[in-house]
A and B are shown apart, each in its own frame.
Chain A
Amino acid sequence: MALYRYIERDTFVHRLHPTVKVIALFVMFWSVYWVDNPLALLPLGFLLLFAAFVTGSGGNFYALRWLFIILIISTTLMWMATYQPGPAAIHVPKVAIRRASIIFGLGKGLKLAELLAASVLFISTTKVEEFTVGLAKLRVPYRVGFAISLSFRLAPLFVDSALTIVDAQCLRGYEFGTGGLIERLRRYTTVSIPVFMGALRKANNMAMALEARGFGRLSRPTTYIEYPFLASDLMAFAALFVIGLLYFLIYWTGYGAVVA
C-alpha cells in the first residue's frame, strides 16, 4: 500500500531545492493565515491548482476530492453557526442566515482547503530524503530528521503487515466489518498486537545496525545526494517572498477581512 504520495516527474517544482519546498509550505500557511475573505483567497487557490496541473499531482487531488468538499462544507457551516453579525439576510423558521456569516464561513472553509492543497502538493513533489535534507538545512537536529524519515519508511511496512494479518484473520473466519463501533474497534486488537510485536523484533537489530554504521558519531553527517542551490531556487524564493508580502499587504489594507 502506497502511503507516501510522491509522483515522479521532472518539473520545475520537483527540481527545487528541498529547503525552498519546505519554505514554500510555510509561505502558503503564512499567506492563507492573514485573510478571511473568499475573494482574496481565490488567487492562491488557482495558483495551487495550476501548480497541481503543472506537476502532474492532479491524481492525488482527485483521490482526496471528497475530503476537500467535506472540509469546505463542514467548516463553512461550523463558522456560520458561530459568527453571526448584522441583520439576517435569509429568514428560515428558527434560523437567521446572515450574509457575512456565509462569506466568513466560506472563507474559513476555503482557507482549510488551501492548506490541505498545499500539503498535498508538497508530498506529491517531495521525496522523503528531500524532506529530511530540507529539515536539516533548517537546523532541525540530524537525529530528529533521521527519526522522521525512518518513520515515513517504516509506516508502509507496518500497514502491509497489518493488511496481511487482516487477510489471515478473515481466512480463519474473523469478521472485521460487523458489529457496533466499540465491537469493531475491539476487533482491531487482534491486528495491532502482531504488528506491534513484529515491529519490536526489528528494533534491537535496527539499533545495532545503525550503531555499526557509526550512527550519531557526527552531529552533521554528510549525505550521498547533494542538492545544489540554483538560480531557479533563488527565483522561486523571491516569488514566494512576494506572495507572502502580498498577502500580508492584503490583510494590512483591510481587503482580506470580512465586513459585516
Chain B
Amino acid sequence: MNGLTAMWRNTRMVVLCSISAALYAAVLIPFKAVPFIPGVTELRPANAIPVVCSFLFGPAGAWGSAIGNTIGDFFGGASPADIFGFFANLAYGWIPYKVWEVISHGDAPISRSPRAIAKFVFTCLAATVLCADLVGWGENLLALRPFAALGNVIILNNMLAALILSPFILIAVYPRVRQGRLLYSDAMPEIKRRPMALRWLGLAMLVGGEAVAWVLGNLLSIGWWTPAFLPAWMNAAPYDKSVAVIVSPFMFLAIAGMVLL
C-alpha cells in the first residue's frame, strides 16, 4: 500500500486525486435521479471513471474514487454504510492498475488484442466483485440491506460502465496523458513494488476470497443456506450475524490479497 500513503506527499498527485473525485462526483450526481433499482442504486455511467483514473493516476485515482463516491453519497443519502462504500470504492479504484501491472507484462491498457481484452475484463471483474462484496457485506453487517440486494446489482452496474464506457475513454485519453507525463508511473517513479511471486499470491488470494465471499453472502443473506453448525439465533433474518461469522474471513482474505498486489 506504499503508493496509497506516499501519493499524499506529491502535490501533483493530490490535484489528480481531486480531479478524479470531482469527475466521478460530477457524473454520479446528475444520474442520482435515474434509479436502476429504485431505492437501492441508480444508473451509474460514472463507474467508468474510477477504472479510467486507476489506469491513469494509480493511487490518486483510487483515493479519487473513494472521495468522489462519498461526495455523491451526500446527495443520495449518506449512512453509516458509506464507510464501507468509501473503502469499496477505494478498492474499485486501486485494484485495476495493480492487477493490470501483475498480468499485463508491461502492455498498455489500450491494446486491442483478444488476450489484452480478456485481461482487461478480468481486471475490471476483480475490482468490481470486491467493491460489491464490501458494500453488500457492510450493509448486511449493519442490517440496512441484504447482501444479495446490493452485491449483485453493483457487479452488473460497475461491469456495464467499466466495459462499455471505460475502454473508449481510455483509448482517447491514455496516449495523451502518457505524452503529458501525467501517468502515475511518471508522476511518482519512486513507488516501490513487491516481488512478483508475492503479487501473484496476492492476486490468487484476492480472486479466491472475493469469489467465495460473494457466493456465501448471496446464499446466507436470503436464507438459502442456514449453516447447521451455527446456533438458531444467528441463522435468523436479517442474517447479519451469520454473514459476519461466515463471510468475514473470506473478505479479510481478499483484502489481504489486495494489500499484497
Using a CB–CB distance below 8 Å, which chain A residues touch chain B?
1, 3, 5, 25, 29-30, 33, 36, 67, 70-75, 78-79, 82-85, 104, 108, 111-113, 115-116, 118-120, 122-123, 141, 143-144, 146-148, 150-159, 162, 181-182, 185-186, 188-189, 192-193, 195-197, 199-200, 202-204, 206-207, 210-211, 215-216
A148 close to B11 (CB less than 8 A): no
Known contacts A119-B77, A185-B160, A207-B12: does B25 contact A82 (CB below 8 Å)?
A: no
- From residue 124 to 169 of chain B, which have CB atoms closer than 8 A to chain A? 142-146, 149, 160-161, 164-165, 168-169
B72 closest partner in A (C-beta): A155
Cα distance A108–B139 in the bound complex, in angstroms: 12
Decide yes or no whether B45 CB sits under 8 A from chain A: yes
In the complex, the chain B residue whose C-beta lies closest to that of A33 is B80
B16 at the A/B interface (Cβ < 8 Å)? yes
- A29 & B15 in contact (Cβ 8 Å cutoff): no
Chain B's interface size range is 35 or more
Closest A residue by C-beta to B32: A67
Tell me if A71 and B77 are in contact (CB < 8 A). yes
In chain B, positions 212-241 with a C-beta closer than 8 Å to chain A are 221-223, 236-239
25 A-B pairs in the complex with CB atoms less than 8 angstroms apart: A33-B80, A36-B143, A67-B32, A67-B77, A71-B77, A78-B145, A82-B146, A82-B223, A85-B236, A85-B237, A115-B78, A118-B78, A119-B79, A146-B18, A148-B21, A154-B18, A154-B26, A157-B22, A158-B22, A158-B26, A185-B160, A193-B172, A200-B176, A200-B182, A203-B12
User: With A and B bound together, what is the CA distance between A122 and B239 in angstroms?
Assistant: 31
Is A143 a contact of B45 with CB atoms below 8 Å? no
In the docked arrangement, what's the CA distance between A199 and B23, Å? 8
Which of B35-43, B88-96, B98-106, B195-203 contacts its partner? B35-43
Contact with A along B51-85 (1 / 0, CB 8 A): 01000000000011001101101111111100000
Q: Is B1 an interface residue (CB 8 A)?
A: no
**Which B residues are in CB contact (< 8 Å) with A3?**
25-26, 29, 75
Kindly identify, within residues 228 to 261 of chain B, every residue whose CB is under 8 Å from any CB belonging to chain A: 236-239
Q: What 13 additional pairs, Cβ within 8 angstroms, besides A73-B39, A157-B22, A192-B27?
A: A3-B25, A3-B29, A71-B77, A79-B238, A112-B77, A147-B18, A155-B25, A158-B23, A158-B26, A162-B27, A189-B165, A216-B9, A216-B14
Is B177 part of the binding interface, using a Cβ–Cβ cutoff of 8 Å? yes
Contact A185 B161 (CB under 8 A): yes
Which chain A residue lies CB-closest to B16? A203
Residue numbers in A under 8 Å from B73 (CB-CB): 119
Q: 9 closest A-B pairs (Cβ-Cβ)? A: A74-B39, A116-B77, A154-B22, A151-B21, A119-B78, A158-B26, A150-B18, A83-B237, A115-B79
B25 x A186 contact (CB < 8 A): no
Docked-complex contact A192 and B29, CB < 8 angstroms? no
> Could you mark each residue 167-201 of chain B with 1 if its beta carbon is under 8 Å from any beta carbon of chain A, else 0?
01100110011001010000000000000000000
Interfacial chain B residues near A29, Cβ < 8 Å = 79-80
Are A150 and B22 neighbours in the complex by a CB distance under 8 Å? yes
Q: How far is the CB of B75 from chain A (nearest CB, A)?
A: 7
Q: Collect the chain B residues with CB atoms within 8 Å of residue A67's CB.
A: 32, 76-77
Shortest CB-to-CB span from B211 to chain A, Å, is 23
CA distance A109 to B101 in the complex (A): 43
Q: How many angstroms from the CA of A186 to the CA of B67 in the assembled complex?
A: 25
From B17, B23, B221, A147 is in contact (CB under 8 Å) with B17
Do B63 and A162 touch across chains, with their CB atoms under 8 A apart?
A: no
Residues of A within 8 A of B110 (CB): none
Cβ-defined contact, B144 with A192, below 8 A: no
**B73 nearest CB neighbor, chain A only:** A119
